[in-house]
Amino acid sequence: MRNNDALLDAFANEKLEQLQKRGEKRILIETRRSAKAVAFRGNRELVSFCCNDYLNLSQHPHVKSAAKSAIDAYGVGSGASRLVTGNHPLFAKLEAMLAKLKGTEDCVIFGSGYLANLGIIPTLVGAEDLIVADELSHACLLAGSTLSQAKTIRFRHNDLQHVQDILRSHRAQYRHTLLVTDGVFSMDGDLAPIAALASLADRFDAWLLTDDAHGIGVLGDGRGSAALSSRSPALQMGTLSKAIGGYGAYLCASRPVVDLIRTRARTLIYSTGLPPASVAAAIAALEIIEREPALIERPLRNARAFTELTGLPEAQSPIVPVILGPSDQALKASQMLEAEGFLVTAIRPPTVPAGTARLRLTFTADHKMKDIEKLASAVTGALHSANGESCA
């Protein structure tokens, strides 16, 4: 081994050792997902409460059939970026469906949520501009903000007064201002005050961008978190990988904005187009969401049944956090639940702030009440154990 390679390995091992001591080293565990919210690890069958497939559409026969048919018609991959030859005919239908669902003039599809926010934000703002972002915004929103080179100021989570104070103090110094927030916060499950943020955007001549990855398909009759509000953001971004069940992302906005994104967003221009099967699967999933309103109500209903059973604050979305504090406590609780037959991943820093490691529970349309009740009992026991109480 060359000396430089040995130094690189030593650097990596030192970092890994530090992460291991803090309980923050990650490992990949082979998991086979199946229908009805079931997952297999090793030879064990577990009821999964940590998957974002809220409507279980990744396993739906109609969605799988659409993906297979698209492969037969168009092949496995798109072959190039969308601006070269990768814009296969399925894109137009999916973009039209999403624009209709979100109530916007147009839509553009990206390869993933992370790629979308790395492309959208730097296209709209730059070094002469200001970004005001919720401190708990998803990592890709913050990464896109950094990449844009705009001045970025984070406001306290959902604190409208803090947003107003920042805008009052800083807005006049910058050419354009972008307000950035999740619609549904992925680690806490709470909702952004979209109507109030939209009003502040109007007042201070700013643009509002919401990331609705965890809202589309499960809130607002399937239209997402903005549909719960009296005001719609100018920029509605989201993914196709949660309730939609597949892969990819979108931006719904006005036609001029979407045209600009198609022309200048680097993560669209320089990325191979989404495979035909993924686009076809998303189309099929949206068709199911449109015709089965009862389906989209079930994830939130199941989450609220759980919070009622455990005495936790009422769920605002299908995501329910159970905050334990230290990383080792979250890992221990996750292992305890796995022994009970549940798959619930421990979420640790840096994904969440230090001292707030947690179990992040996600509820789907296919969860059975008997499993929710059993989970509630097990989580209550884990909480008692973490607090040093008797679990008798």
Q: What is the pLDDT of residues 83-115, one digit of tens each?
A: 999 999 999 999 999 999 999 999 999 999 999
Asked if residue 279 is part of any domain, the answer here is yes
CATH number where 348 lies: 3.90.1150.10
Mean pLDDT score, 308-320? 97
Is it the case that residue 265 has pLDDT exceeding 50? yes
Kindly name the residue from 60, 102, 138, 214 that is annotated as catalytic: 214
Q: Note the pLDDT tens digit of each residue in 176-185.
A: 999 999 999 9
Please indicate whether residue 15 is annotated as part of the active site.
no
Do residue 72 and residue 32 come from a single domain?
no
Per residue, what are the HEC states of 292-321? CHHHHHHHHHHHHHHHHHHCCCCCCCCEEE
pLDDT at 390: 37
| Residues 106 and 176 placed together within one structural domain of the fold | yes
- Are 95 and 233 within one domain? yes
Mean pLDDT across the stretch 366-379? Answer: 97
Range of the domain at 357: 25-54+318-386
Specify whether 275 is located in the same domain as 340. Answer: no
Question: Which of the residues 48, 112, 148, 186 is marked catalytic?
Answer: 186
Q: What is the pLDDT of residues 225-256, one digit of tens each?
A: 999 998 899 999 999 999 999 999 999 999 99
Asked whether residue 133 falls in the same domain as residue 201, the answer is yes
Report whether pLDDT(1) > 70: no
**136 within a domain of the structure (yes/no):** yes
Q: What is the mean pLDDT of residues 324-340?
A: 93
Q: Which of 148, 242, 278, 334 is catalytic?
A: 242
Whether residue 209 is found in the same domain as residue 271? yes
Supply φ then ψ for residue 33, to 5 degrees: -90, 150
Contact 273, 88 (CB under 8 A): yes
Does residue 242 have an active-site annotation? yes
What does the chain come to in residues?
Answer: 392
- The answer to whether residue 37 sits within a structural domain is yes
- Note whether 243 and 347 are same-domain residues: no
CA dist 8 to 12, 19, 21, 216, 331, Å?
6, 17, 20, 43, 29
What is the SS3 assignment for 348? coil
Q: Which two tokens stand for residue 256?
A: 């001029």
Q: Is residue 248 part of a domain?
A: yes
Instruction: List pLDDT tens digits, range 351-362.
Output: 999 999 999 999
**This prediction's pTM:** 0.94
Q: Comparing C-alpha atoms, which of 379, 377, 386, 365 is closest to residue 58?
A: 365
Do 157 and 286 share a domain, yes or no?
yes
Residue at 305 is within a domain: no
Q: Are 109 and 255 members of one domain?
A: yes
pLDDT, tens digit, for every residue of 109-162?
999 999 999 999 999 999 999 999 999 999 999 999 999 999 999 999 999 999
Which of 241, 276, 291 delimits the end of a domain? 291
| Domain CATH for 217 | 3.40.640.10
366: in domain? yes
**Is residue 62 annotated as a catalytic residue, yes or no?**
no
Residue 149 lies in a domain: yes
Please indicate, yes or no, whether residues 47 and 71 belong to a single structural domain of this protein. no
Note whether residue 2 is domain-resident: no
Please write the tens of the pLDDT for every residue from 290-301.
999 999 999 999
32 in the same domain as 77: no
pLDDT at 80: 98
CA distances 148 to 90, 139, 155, 182, Å, are 31, 14, 18, 18
Q: What is the pLDDT of residue 386?
A: 66
Strands 207-211 and 177-182: parallel
**Domains identified in the chain, total number:** 2
User: What is the tens place of the pLDDT at every residue in 18-67?
Assistant: 999 888 898 999 999 998 899 999 889 999 999 999 999 999 999 999 99
What pLDDT is recorded for position 368?
97
**CA 246/CA 284 separation, integer angstroms:** 10
Do residues 237 and 357 share a domain?
A: no
Q: What is the pLDDT of residue 4?
A: 87
Longest Cα–Cα distance of the chain, Å, equals: 65
